[in-house]
Amino acid sequence: MMDRTNEAAKVPLIVCVGDLIDEIAVRLEEPWRRGSDAAAQISRRRGGSAANVAVAAVAAGGAARFIGAVGHDATADTLEAALVHAGVEPLLQRHGRTASIVVVVEPDGERTMLPDRAAALSLRDPGAASLGGGAWLHAPAYSLLGEPLGETTRRLFAHARDAGISTSLDASSVGALSAWGQRESRRRFAELAPTILFANEEECDYLNLIGDPLPGSILIAKHGAGIAEVRSAGGELLAQRPANPLPAGIDSTGAGDAFAGGLLVARARGESWEDALAAGHNTAAAHLKRQAATISTEEAP
C-alpha cells in the first residue's frame, strides 16, 4: 500500500495567495533620460510575487496552488495557461480587468516597478477548503495592501493556523510598507504571526528586524547577491549561506520569489536550515538562467 503521508512529504503543496500580473519588462540599454529617448528591449511575461513563488515551488520539486483574482479578459486566459503550463494549480476569481505592471531594468540591474493591480485587489475569501492538502501558505506583504484582498489574506492565514499549516510572509517592498509606516507594518506582521518572515537588507533595516525581531517568527534575511541568514524569533543566528555568483547587470526580477519557493519546499520536507538556504539559492539561480535564456531567444534573429 502507498504511504500517502510520505508521498505528501516528498512533494509538499505550497499554497500562494496574491497577484497574478501581466508583466511588461523594459530593459534599458543606456541610462534613463527623463523627457527624452533611451534604447530598450521590451518583453512580456507572467508576473506577480505570489505567482512567482508558486512556479518556483514546482521547479524545486514541490507542488503549488495559486489563489488570486484576475479579469474577465484574454490576458487572464493567457496568464492562467502559463500557470498550468508551469505545473501550478490555479484557483482564480474573475472580476473586471487583469492586473499589469511595468518593470524598468536599468543597465546596472536596478529595477523600478510601476504596478496597476486592478482585479488582483478584488479577491474574496475562498474558504478553508482552498488550503486542502497544503503544507504551507505563503503571501507577500503586497497581499495585505488593498481590500478586500488584505482581509482575504488575513482570513486565509487564520484558516492555516486552525489547520496546523505553516505560513510565510515576504516583506515585499519598503516603498509599499511606507504607506503604513514602520510601527504599523510591524504590528500588522505580528498580528499575522507568520512562521517565517522573508526580508531583504533594506526591509530588515526599515523594520529593525535584526535589532528587534518580530515575535514568534523565524527571519530569513536576504542580502541580495550576498549571504542569506536564518535568525530565530529571539534573534539568534541559526544558519547562513552565500548566494550563487551572478553576472553583473543581470535582470534579477523574481529571484527573491524563486529563493522563497525553493526554501519553502525544502523546509516542508523537513530539511535543515542550511539545506533549505541552499535549495533557495539554487532555485533562484535556475530561475535567472531560464530568464536569461528566454531573453536570448527573444533577441535572436
The dihedrals phi and psi of 224, each to the nearest 5 degrees, come to: 60, -125
- pLDDT tens-digit readout, 5-17: 445 568 999 999 9
d(CA 53, CA 65): 10
Considering the domain boundaries, does residue 282 fall inside one?
Answer: yes
Strand arrangement, sheet containing 237-242: 88-94, 63-70, 13-17, 136-140, 166-170, 196-200, 218-222, 227-231, 237-242
- pLDDT tens-digit readout, 186-240: 999 999 999 999 999 999 999 999 999 999 999 999 986 679 999 999 999 999 9
Instruction: Name, in order, each residue with C-beta under 8 angstroms of 96's C-beta and a sequence gap of 6 or more.
Output: 71, 72, 118, 119, 122
Considering the domain boundaries, does residue 34 fall inside one?
Answer: no
Considering the domain boundaries, does residue 4 fall inside one?
Answer: no
Tell me what pLDDT residue 223 has: 84
Tell me what pLDDT residue 108 has: 83
Considering the domain boundaries, does residue 218 fall inside one?
Answer: yes
Considering the domain boundaries, does residue 2 fall inside one?
Answer: no
User: What share of the chain has pLDDT > 70, as a percent?
Assistant: 91
pLDDT level of residue 4 (50, 70, 90 thresholds): very low
Q: What is the domain extent for residue 228?
A: 11-29+39-299
Mean pLDDT to the nearest integer, 102-114: 86
Considering the domain boundaries, does residue 6 fall inside one?
Answer: no
- 175 close to 142: Cβ distance less than 8 angstroms: no
**Total tally of structural domains belonging to the chain:** 1
Considering the domain boundaries, does residue 3 fall inside one?
Answer: no
Q: Kindly give the interhelix angle for 273-299 and 49-59, rounded to the nearest 10 degrees.
A: 100
Among 34-38, 259-263, 287-291, the least confident range: 287-291
Q: Kindly give the interhelix angle for 255-268 and 49-59, rounded to the nearest 10 degrees.
A: 50
Considering the domain boundaries, does residue 244 fall inside one?
Answer: yes
d(CA 154, CA 93): 17
Q: Which residue has the cell 496568464?
A: 79
Instruction: Name, in order, each residue with C-beta under 8 angstroms of 138's C-beta and a sequence gap of 6 or more.
Output: 14, 15, 16, 17, 50, 53, 167, 168, 169, 170, 260, 264
d(CA 208, CA 122): 32
d(CA 67, CA 131): 9
CATH of residue 150's domain is: 3.40.1190.20
Total residues belonging to the chain: 301
d(CA 85, CA 78): 10
